[in-house]
Amino acid sequence: MTEDICLVENRGHVLIVTLNRPAQRNALNAALRQRLRDVFDDYEADPELRCAILTANGTAFCAGGDLKEMASEAVQIPPEEWSLLLSSKGHVIKPVIGAVNGFALAGGFRLVQDVDLCIAADTAVFGISEVKRGRGAPWAAPLIDLMSKRVMMELLITGEPMTAQRAYEVGFVNRVVPGDRLLDEALAVAETVASNAPLSVAAGKKLVEISTELGSSHAVAFANAVYEKVYRSDDAAEGPRAFAEKRQPVWTGR
C-alpha cells in the first residue's frame, strides 16, 4: 500500500516522518513523492504539531530518484512536481529536522537541503551524484547559501560524496552523532523547538529566509514587519507572565 512507503508517528507536538522503502534504498518514486507532499501538507494544517523530523528506515537515508522508474517511463526532463518534495506548495512554514541515517545522494541530498536543521549519523554520506548518471541538479542552486562556492563546485562536478564529518565542517550539517543515538538526538532538538512559542519560531525561520534572499541590510525592514505579529500576539504576553508566575508557558500560537 502507498501508506506503507512513508510512516508517520506523533510524539506530542513532534511529527516523525520515516521513508520506508529500505529495499530500494528509499528511492523517491512517484508514489513516495506524492506521499511526502500529503504528509507535510497535513503537518502544516495540524495546529498541534510544531516540529517535524524526517528520517528513514534501512541503511540508506535516500538514494535519490528511482532510476528504474525513470528508465521505464523514459523520463528526460524531471516533471515540475519534483520541485515540490516536502509540500504541495513547495515550502514548509513549520520547522523540519533531517535525521540522516545513511547515504543521502542526488534527490536524497535535495531532501536534506530542504530541511531546516540536519543531524547526521557518523556513518552518513552526502553527495550530488547526477554527473555520474548524465543527469542534472538545478535544484542545487540554493546550496550557495549553505556552503562555500568551492565546496559546492566540488560536489557538483566530481559527483563524489562527502562524509558526515566533512558536511559538519562545511556547515551543511548541524550535529554528527553515533547512529544509535540519531533519533534520540533529533527528538531532543525537535522537542526543544516545539516547546518554544510557535509564532516566534515561525518568525525566526522566516527571518533566516529573508536575510538569505535579500542580504542583511535590506532584510531589517522586512524583519520588523515579520516580528510585529509576534509582538502583538497572546503568546508574547504569556511568556513573561509564565516567567513571573514560575511556570511553563502555555502557547496558543495566537
Question: Which of 26-35, 167-176, 212-221 is least confident?
Answer: 212-221
pTM for the full model? Answer: 0.89
Distances (CA, A) of 130 to 32, 65, 154: 20, 10, 13
144-161 pLDDT, tens per residue? 999 999 999 999 999 999
Angle, CA 89 vertex, CA 7 and CA 147 arms, to 5°: 85
Query: How much is the pLDDT for 197?
Result: 94
Q: Which of the pair, 84 or 137, is modelled with greater confidence?
A: 137
Across 174-182, average pLDDT? 98
Task: Please name which of 184, 59, 186 lies closest in space to residue 116, comparing C-alpha atoms.
Answer: 186
Say which CATH superfamily domain 2-194 falls into: 2-enoyl-CoA Hydratase; Chain A, domain 1 (3.90.226.10)
Task: Please name which of 137, 70, 79 lies closest in space to residue 105, comparing C-alpha atoms.
Answer: 137
**What's the CA gap between 74 and 146, in Å, rounded?**
33
Q: What is the DSSP letter of 164?
A: H
Burial of 221 (0-12, 13-18, 19+ CB in 10 A): exposed
Angle, CA 13 vertex, CA 10 and CA 19 arms, to 5°: 40
Query: How much is the pLDDT for 253?
Result: 85
68 pLDDT higher than 80: no
Contact between 251 and 197 under an 8 Å Cβ cutoff? The reply is yes
- Helix 234-244 vs helix 198-214: crossing angle, to nearest 10: 120
88-139 pLDDT, tens per residue? 787 899 999 999 999 999 989 999 999 999 999 999 999 998 888 888 888 8
Across 156-185, average pLDDT? 97
**What's the CA gap between 118 and 143, in Å, rounded?**
14
% pLDDT > 90, the chain: 59
210-243 pLDDT, tens per residue? 888 877 667 777 777 777 788 888 888 888 888 8
Domains of the chain, residue spans: 2-194, 198-244
